Amino acid sequence: MKKLLEKAAKVADQAEVYSVRQDSGSIEMRNGIPTDISASIQSGYALRILKNGMIGTAYTKNLLDRDQLVSNAMDSLKGEVEAGFSFPGAADLPDSAGADPGVEKMGFRELHTYADGVLEQLRGKVEGQIDVYAGRGVEEVSVVNTTGLDVCTRSSDMYLYASLLFPNTEASVHRLHIDRKAGAFPEGKLDDLIALYKSGLPEVEVDSGRMKVMFMPDTLYTLLWRIGAATSGKSLYNRISPLQDKRGQRVLSEKFSYYGHANDPDNYEQRYFDDEGVPTRKHMVIDQGVFSGAILNLDYATKLGENPSGTGYRRDGEPVSALPSPYLAGGRIAPGKRSLAEMIREMDRGVIILGVLGAHSGNILNGDFSVGLNPGFYVENGEILGRVRDGMVAGNVYDVLQNVVAIENHLNTSLMGGKYPALLLDDVSVAAKK
């Protein structure tokens, strides 16, 4: 990396080299039978150069010809993409937690053993198909530039995922356990999963109408996707956001706070810097209903005249081929004061959304959504009566998040990344077929 940076520095005003190495493995089992085993090792280098106010980029997966990579980046300057920003300077950052040696050395035999342990806790206790996934990963990310930055982080994670399918359907309930260290699935979580599965076995018919709706943690990306699009520096700079000129104003319920915390010690993917080398911090986007901060990378921070927020990540496609864009890593919704059981008891009539279909549908930037329940449980007088047949929930995020009834007092790791509580809303449109 240093040699590549030196070569780029000779022809550019500023230069940056980003590198990533990912090593992962996984096993999938259906009713105790392995159905897929995969392993992957990926690495690469991305070069960005700044010259005469323009930016040039190039990347490679094999750093065999540094001169050619620099030449490719110089050639891309012909596209005349303006870059008003500069790369960040040296940063004094804490040491990351590092990769766990047990995860680094883990092979398929160990993953199979962990998956079998989950199956043993579930086998014979449910009627439907049991799917169990086990996986591990190690990642190393480095960023160096000509303004003195030289940072590197290594992290690891191991996950166990259990899914219980309802008979003759593709709908399921599931639980995810993930940590930076190797470990078994907490037995209590699987007991809760079994109880949840049994409560959803009956299929019930529901009258359409407006009612209470609870979004479980794995389904909240339906709402957060829309908030993220509106609070992105890109949308705000192009003046297409529904939250345009509303910074500092209350736009959602005062019970609702949304923020990123990439450097949270409790975060298995803890990061002290983003993919541009900017130090991360707790970054409030919605603070008690008030639009507090935009999600920015270096480019849009400069264009909007704001300070970088440590939220520039290479997310679209493979990291080395993607350019840094605004992204809220370590997403959180601030927890409330009620347990999940207490929240269910508060539902006179409503549905609990445990999975969604079609989260991409509707005008995302405008906040509209219309999703199928996959599955959804019907609640009446505080009791789950069964699984909704062919249900849908629709609305606008800026309307439904005005009517927050309660927020769970516990953060749960989501399949989509981040840690979120369950969220109970009122007066949401539910449609169901009979």
177/321 same-domain check: no
Residue reference for tokens 């449609």: 431
Look at residue 168 in the predicted model and tell me its pLDDT: 85
Burial 87-104 (b: 16+ CB within 10 A, else e): bbeeeebeebbebbeebe
167/264 same-domain check: no
Query: Residue 203, exposed/middle/buried by CB under 10 A (0-12, 13-18, 19+)?
Result: middle
User: Which CATH number covers residue 127?
Assistant: 3.30.2290.10
Q: Measure the CA–CA gap between 232 and 241, rounded to whole angstroms.
A: 8
pLDDT tens, residue by residue, 196-205: 999 999 999 9
Of the residues 168, 197, 226, which one is the last residue of a structural domain? 197
Query: Residue 322, exposed/middle/buried by CB under 10 A (0-12, 13-18, 19+)?
Result: middle
* Of 375 and 91, more confident: 375
Check pLDDT > 90 for residue 34: yes
233/166 same-domain check: no
255/358 same-domain check: yes
158/264 same-domain check: no
pLDDT average, residue stretch 287-299: 97
Look up residue 179 and give its two tokens. 């940590």
Look at residue 432 in the predicted model and tell me its pLDDT: 87
Beta strands (DSSP E) in 300-390 are 312-313, 325-326, 331-333, 349-353, 356-357, 368-373, 376-380, 383-388
Query: 59 φ, ψ to 5°?
Result: -150, 160
The answer to whether the beta carbons of residues 338 and 409 sit under 8 Å apart is yes
Of the residues 162, 197, 232, which one is the last residue of a structural domain? 197
270/339 same-domain check: yes
The answer to whether the beta carbons of residues 291 and 249 sit under 8 Å apart is yes
The answer to whether the beta carbons of residues 203 and 389 sit under 8 Å apart is yes
* Of 362 and 342, more confident: 342
Burial 391-424 (b: 16+ CB within 10 A, else e): bbbebbbbebbbbbbbbbeebbbbbbebbbbbbb
Of the residues 172, 197, 222, which one is the last residue of a structural domain? 197
pLDDT average, residue stretch 53-75: 95
181/262 same-domain check: no
Look at residue 415 in the predicted model and tell me its pLDDT: 87
229/362 same-domain check: yes
Look at residue 228 in the predicted model and tell me its pLDDT: 97
374/324 same-domain check: yes
What residue type is 91 in one-letter code? Answer: A
8-state DSSP, 70: H
pLDDT average, residue stretch 282-308: 97
Look at residue 362 in the predicted model and tell me its pLDDT: 86
Could you tell me the residue range of the domain that residue 173 belongs to? 2-197
Nearest-5° Cα angle at 132, 131 to 138: 145
141/255 same-domain check: no
pLDDT average, residue stretch 160-170: 92
280/324 same-domain check: yes
Look at residue 390 in the predicted model and tell me its pLDDT: 87
> How many structural domains are present in the chain?
2
Mean of pLDDT over the chain:
94
Confidence of residue 316 (pLDDT cuts 50, 70, 90): confident
pLDDT tens, residue by residue, 239-279: 999 999 999 999 999 999 999 999 998 888 889 999 999 99
Check pLDDT > 80 for residue 393: yes
pLDDT average, residue stretch 15-38: 95
pLDDT winner (highest mean) among 123-127, 225-229, 430-434 = 225-229
Look at residue 170 in the predicted model and tell me its pLDDT: 86
pLDDT tens, residue by residue, 96-155: 778 999 999 999 999 999 999 999 999 889 988 999 999 999 999 999 999 999 999 999
Look at residue 332 in the predicted model and tell me its pLDDT: 97
Confidence of residue 210 (pLDDT cuts 50, 70, 90): very high
Look at residue 11 in the predicted model and tell me its pLDDT: 96
121/136 same-domain check: yes
Confidence of residue 397 (pLDDT cuts 50, 70, 90): very high
